[in-house]
Amino acid sequence: MSQIKDLVSLSSRMAAAVRAIETQRPDGLFKDPDPLAAILAGDDIIAEIAPGAQQYEDKGTPIVPVRTRFFDDFLMSQVAQIRQVVILGAGMDKLMCS
């Protein structure tokens, strides 16, 4: 069980690292307003992912940044009708509660 929890935490930290890296790009598809992604990811994960960030692309398409931009735009367009958003499977709940 501990190994599964560690893998979920690692996965969520890797996703946070991709967000932090995209935020730092001058041509990034989104800019996080605060440094939470970088803090959650940690310098060790960012340093590990940054050189190989292209591995999160499929045939040249940056998967995580495009998906993030799509959902950010959709949720912002619905903000008047939505009171709460729950992201299932984000993984940070496991990291924060351990």
Greatest mean pLDDT range, 25-39, 42-56, 75-89: 25-39
Residue 1 has pLDDT above 50, yes or no: no
Sign of the Cα pseudo-torsion (69, 24, 33, 6, in order): positive
Q: Would you give the distance in Å from CA 91 to the centre of its chain?
A: 11
Return the domain boundaries, the chain.
Answer: 2-97
H helix or E strand, kind and range, residue 58: strand 57-58
Region label for 87, one of left (φ > 0), alpha (ψ between -120 and 50) or beta (otherwise): beta
pLDDT for 65 beyond 50: yes
Residue 18 burial (10 A CB sphere; 0-12, 13-18, 19+): buried
Both tokens assigned to 88: 């299932």
